[in-house]
Structure 1
Amino acid sequence: MKDIILKAENISKQYRLGQVGTGTLTHDLNRWWHQVRGKENPYLRIGDTNDRSTKGESDYVWALQDINFEVERGEVLGIIGKNGAGKSTLLKILSKVTAPTTGSIKSRGRIASLLEVGTGFNGEMSGRENIFLNGAILGMTKKEIASKIDEIIDFSGCERYIDTPVKRYSSGMTVRLAFAVAAFLEPEILVIDEVLAVGDAEFQKKAIGKMQDISRNGGRTVLFVSHDLSAISTLATRTIVLSNGSILAIEETNKAISIYSSMQQNESIFVQNELVDKPSITKVEIVTSERGTLQANGKPFKINFEINMLDENYENISLSFQIINNLNKAIIFAYIFDNNISICRKKEVNKLSYEFDNLRLYKGNYYLKMHLANSKTREKFQEFDCCSFEVEMINQIEPEWGWQNNVCQYIDEGKWITLE
């Protein structure tokens, strides 16, 4: 039998754009009249999906739609997705900060949440007083809080300032103390948004270690939202991928990260037709060793570029690219300067390529991050992601220990080629 501690059933959240509250008195009366007659809210039938890239045709937007999942006791569930996918809205509903438009949340035990820097803290009160305040909000007795207060202060690293008003804390100190309170006051469910990114590297490592400890040894459940895919990979056992307010996938974490990575531009060619009044990359094309965007480990790999110059007198152009793995980490970096090779001296289109004789990458999903700048003035003309591809171990003997993803990355040095 599964020990389910949290269950989301048909969760949806609708907002009315440009309005505070539900909208007009007419709409509220219409809702009430439908409710009296036992009918559905008429405004649930309308509304656009949560896609920021489109203008939309309705005043209503669905921040979340039909979210269903279960979480077992002691599980660490990651939640990933692009900005605006609905991650923070979902956590606010789970934390009961806001109510869902439809659906229900069923949970067993106390829920502690860390959604924004300083949430639940009173700036006029000292750090020590805020520990007792937050503990009381979580339903702890004064005696229970007092028994944990020394551990909380020690973990936060704020001992010297613990009797100073929180309004004088930096954002990093505030997050340190807030996380320590949430972690040590032993809620059954710990909900954490992206706030840990505010802390320094040392504290992030401590926080991840603490979350692992409370889930594995304490049997407590953690819901963790982060854009740091390395942290998600280390911490989460399963991960939800959100896209435009809906669940795209709920999978084992490595598979979920691969799905999320493939949401980058997955065409082998990036083309920009619109010309601007500065140098711009108008085309990027990857040429893989296999069909489509599939690349075999150890086989040739080529990237073609086109740079459009509206003014032939531009100098000091710098073109660079990175190959990014599915944890959003750059593993290959290559660049070229205009003063080394005359890559951008012609007006209109300048063509060049970068070739790898043997691209040695472990299997996984990758994409390109492009940069175009003035190497002298440091003016940045363009920066964007494009051209996802997948590396597989094709016709290679599988070693006894198995191929591992995203470890021990190695490549042979590539070379730039200018094209007439």
Structure 2
Amino acid sequence: MPYDIVLYGCTGFTGKLATAYLAKTYGDTIKWAVAGRSKERVQKVADTIGEGIPDVIIADSQNEKELLAMVKKTKVMASTAGPFARYGSLLVKVCAENGVDYTDITGETNWVREMIAKYDDVARKSGARIVSFCGHDSIPWDLSTYMLANKLKEGGEDLVKVDFYDDIDSAPSGGTLETAFAIMFGKEKAYKFTEQKKLGYDALLKTPKGKKSDYGLKAKNVGYTVKAPSHKSLPYRSFFFMAPVNANSVKRSNALNGYGAQITYCEGTSFKSFFAAFFYVLSWAIYGIGVYIAPIRAIMRAVWLPKPGEGPSEQAMDNGHLYVLGVAKGDKGTVVKCTMGFEVDPGYKDTARMLVESALALSLDGKKIKSEGGVLTPGACQKEVLLDRLLKTGTAFEFH
């Protein structure tokens, strides 16, 4: 293969960050290319690299012939081109049919369900590892659950409950908001995800044998309320808008890995005091009211909110962070804890890093990964191989 990795969607906000990370971290030590549908815009991104400039590939997300020509040139595709329900399905199809590994940063769970229903069997047959959720949605929680469950299994216990406490400082980009608004108010809201319905059960529970897994998950995430600590050493918690997505990623991983027969998953943003949590909930309530009133939403998008391609400043991203405390309980009562830490903005700067390392784990360390083909998650595919790459490039992880 000419390339170790092709980055598709390089002209978007996260795509540019991923391009910069690839150039800075790996330069000309790997063979890579950047790709998108606009030659002028893709070339402009490539020209910012300087030494070790990547090759440029032009492929429209709706042109199967162009996508096929691109996919055949690489070991793995890494995509930031969302909303994925709008731009991502054909690329997944082409990778699944041609045995080419694929990673993306989507948090669009219904789209992932549809990809499982349509292409899981196809990918298993070809050997393609199709791995979604390879960014802030949802590597920190997916890998943490995987590690906690393994720790419990070392003592002969199955996982029954996992709680997450998220200390996060991050701001949304225009692309993220575009995806969210498209799902809530745009044409994506009316999408008919028909294939998953034919299974007769949640596609996230689909096993390699095409049956419903015996290993399920029930999400009891913290909603628009303030949840008091269950122990004095733990913080208050409240709403975290990505918790449902993270729970679904773990649900898929549990179905494939078998952490426990019926896991309870509970996640929320952590706070040092009740009042801090209360004002956080209040601010979200005010924001939510504005978003759901169409005229106010239009003004917010025109005046205040970032546009697609825009996002937090470099300084804001450098000052961001994410610390995820995981508390897992086994079926015999044992409790194990871990913390995973990110010292810059997790939603964009470290999402770019997570995506690249997820892809390179498949491309460069593929022989270490035991997973076969299919539509998977990081916790069911790259596992410790990915965690090791993240630890070497800026992530912290420890049991305690």
Both proteins in one fold, TM over 0.5: no
Instruction: Say which one has the larger Rg.
Output: 1
- Higher RCO, Cα 8 Å, sep 6+: 2
Larger helix share, 1 or 2? 2
Structure 1 or 2: more strand by fraction = 1
TM-score, normalisation: structure 2: 0.29
TM-score by length of 1: 0.28
